[in-house]
Structure 1
Amino acid sequence: MTPDQTLNVAAIGAFFGLVIFAALVGLLAAVYVAVCRAIDTRKARQAAHAQQPETEPIDAIDDVVAVALAGACCEPWWATCGLHHAHTCPTTMKD
């Protein structure tokens, strides 16, 4: 290999090294910008949440239980998962 060929190979290697380095710098810059935007968005959401008045949390389980108890009829209805009613049950008398 002649010195000119060695110099050409080194120049090509340096060029590709710079291209890869530039690509990595661009990728890291894009990731940095995305992380900064995510942090800003999170801070904005926390600030908006802090400005809202506090309310009591809605407990869906209590609502489900209240509806089930409101529709409760008689003991056989509970024992048979709602399939059968007692003869004296008001729901049976409506039918």
Structure 2
Amino acid sequence: MFVLNLGEHRNHEIRRRPHHRLSREEDMNTSSTHLTLLVLLLAIIALFCTLVAAAAGLLARIDGATYPSALLRAAVAFAGSATLSLALLTFILATL
């Protein structure tokens, strides 16, 4: 981060401000266990969203919707469930 020092001098002095280094405990949890758990949770969310989308598309098709309309409903269901699932995962990880 650069700081512009506007003192009494006419020349503007740009100096470098030292960064605050986080301790190891404050640093992000990047251990292999945490990363593995996060990848596993993301895979479960992707599987869940795919199943929701497939069910929505199938139910739309059974209801008599055309293939493009059923595919659109499946895509909307996938996007909605992915958004909700990722928001919930973010909330859970932030509170832990």
Into which bin does the TM-score normalised by the smaller protein fall? 0.3 to 0.5
Radius of gyration: which is bigger? 1
Question: Which protein has the bigger helix share?
Answer: 1
Q: What TM-score results when the alignment is normalised by the length of structure 2?
A: 0.33
Q: What TM-score results when the alignment is normalised by the length of structure 1?
A: 0.33
RCO higher in 1 or 2 (8 Å CA, sep ≥ 6)?
2
